[in-house]
């Protein structure tokens, strides 16, 4: 690609921790110039990255695309705040995503990468060990708080078929571990870690830097589709906790729900009760399609990935 003009990549949610990890990875690549789109301030912004500190639903966000020179959108600016009101989260996540996809179609952005999550399949006792990309997204069935994320995934998957001229890629990574402040990493940073007595599901984890690599692989020309993104493998939850040297607090599951919702309402815990199912049942995916089509394989080992939650950012 020497000689070609660098391609402009707009990243939403760039100011978040995962956003910064992805931005750092893409920043190293000379074929891209980055632009951030986030209503938060971009701390530690490299000089040559333009940052638009605006709401994605605003007119100013449209102006970012209006020039028509955006080569790709990486959409990862989703709000996961469990304490925000449902209306706020819905408007930000779903309406925001709809707007962005609309801009992409109007201003002919040839590539759209949406970072969804493998959580959208939902943890269920009768899940097959490895879910393929065609499995139904059932997370919202037992877990209404997940409805937005499932809907965004649906929006993006529909967009993949609706806007045939655009290469849309939907990535569904497994639990992302690292300096990020997402639910799985925060959970593993608790001490003692509450677990459910008598339950120890297999979990899949991926290092945040491997997620950045997957995003970068998805930006390659010609790639479109829905991909599960898996890390170096799967282990029982108890092994993850042992590797991190955490004490555990096993709670009998009939007591767990009332105790946990009490803790949530008291502000002690920030995990919605329904997320318990993620430490009770499996929700694992098959990443072979991404391995075949994107040539993606995680580089961090299982141990490195697990220990990444304790690394300073």
Q: Which is nearer to another protein, 3 or 125 (CB)?
A: 125
**Options 49, 239, 259, 297; binder of another protein; rule CB under 8 A:** 239
Q: Which is nearer to another protein, 98 or 135 (CB)?
A: 135
The window from 5-13, 121-129, 221-229, 263-271 that contacts another protein (CB under 8 A) reads: 121-129
* Residue 281 touching another protein (CB under 8 A): yes
Q: How many Cβ atoms are within 10 Å of 60's Cβ, its own excluded? A: 13
**Options 125, 245, 267, 312; binder of another protein; rule CB under 8 A:** 125
The window from 85-93, 173-181, 196-204, 209-217 that contacts another protein (CB under 8 A) reads: 196-204
* Residue 127 touching another protein (CB under 8 A): yes
Residue 281 Cβ vs another protein, minimum distance, rounded to whole Å = 6
Q: How many Cβ atoms are within 10 Å of 173's Cβ, its own excluded? A: 28
Burial 35-52 (b: 16+ CB within 10 A, else e): bbbbbeebeebeeebebb
CA atoms of 55 and 70, how far apart (whole Å): 18
**Options 6, 128, 192, 221; binder of another protein; rule CB under 8 A:** 128
How far is the CA of 123 from the CAs of 120, 236, 274, in angstroms?
9, 15, 10
Residue 254 Cβ vs another protein, minimum distance, rounded to whole Å = 10
CA atoms of 166 and 150, how far apart (whole Å): 21
Q: Which is nearer to another protein, 94 or 235 (CB)?
A: 235
* Residue 234 touching another protein (CB under 8 A): yes
Q: Which is nearer to another protein, 82 or 233 (CB)?
A: 233
CA atoms of 134 and 149, how far apart (whole Å): 17
* Residue 303 touching another protein (CB under 8 A): yes
Q: Which is nearer to another protein, 131 or 183 (CB)?
A: 131
- The contact set with another protein (CB under 8 A) reads 125-130, 196-202, 233-236, 239, 252-253, 280-282, 301-303
């Amino acid at each position: 690609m020497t000689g070609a003009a660098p391609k402009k990549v707009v990243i939403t949610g760039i100011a978040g921790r995962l956003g910064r990890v992805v931005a750092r990875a893409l920043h190293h690549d000379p074929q891209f110039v980055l632009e951030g789109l986030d209503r938060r301030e971009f701390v530690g912004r490299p000089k040559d990255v333009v940052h638009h500190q605006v709401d994605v639903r605003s007119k100013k966000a449209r102006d970012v695309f209006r020039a028509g020179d955006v080569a790709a959108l990486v959409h990862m600016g989703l709000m996961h705040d469990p304490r925000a009101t449902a209306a706020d989260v819905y408007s930000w996540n779903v309406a925001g995503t709809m707007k962005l996809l609309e801009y992409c179609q109007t201003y002919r952005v040839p590539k759209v990468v949406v970072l969804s999550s493998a959580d959208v399949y939902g943890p269920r006792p009768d899940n097959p060990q490895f879910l393929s990309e065609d499995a139904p997204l059932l997370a919202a069935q037992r877990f209404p708080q997940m409805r937005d994320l499932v809907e965004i995934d649906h929006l993006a998957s529909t967009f993949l078929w609706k806007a045939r001229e655009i290469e849309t890629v939907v990535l569904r990574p497994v639990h992302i571990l690292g300096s990020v402040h997402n639910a799985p990493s925060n959970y593993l940073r608790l001490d003692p870690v509450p677990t459910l007595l008598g339950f120890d599901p297999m979990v899949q984890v991926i290092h945040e830097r491997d997620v950045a690599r997957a995003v970068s692989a998805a930006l390659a020309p010609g790639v479109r589709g829905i991909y599960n993104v898996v890390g170096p493998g799967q282990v029982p939850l108890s092994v993850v906790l042992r590797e991190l040297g955490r004490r555990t607090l096993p709670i009998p599951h009939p007591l767990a729900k009332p105790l946990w919702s009490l803790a949530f309402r008291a502000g002690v815990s920030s995990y919605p009760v329904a997320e318990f199912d993620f430490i009770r049942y499996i929700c694992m995916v098959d990443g072979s399609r991404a391995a075949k089509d994107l040539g993606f394989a995680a580089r961090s080992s299982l141990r490195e990935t697990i220990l990444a939650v304790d690394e300073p950012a």
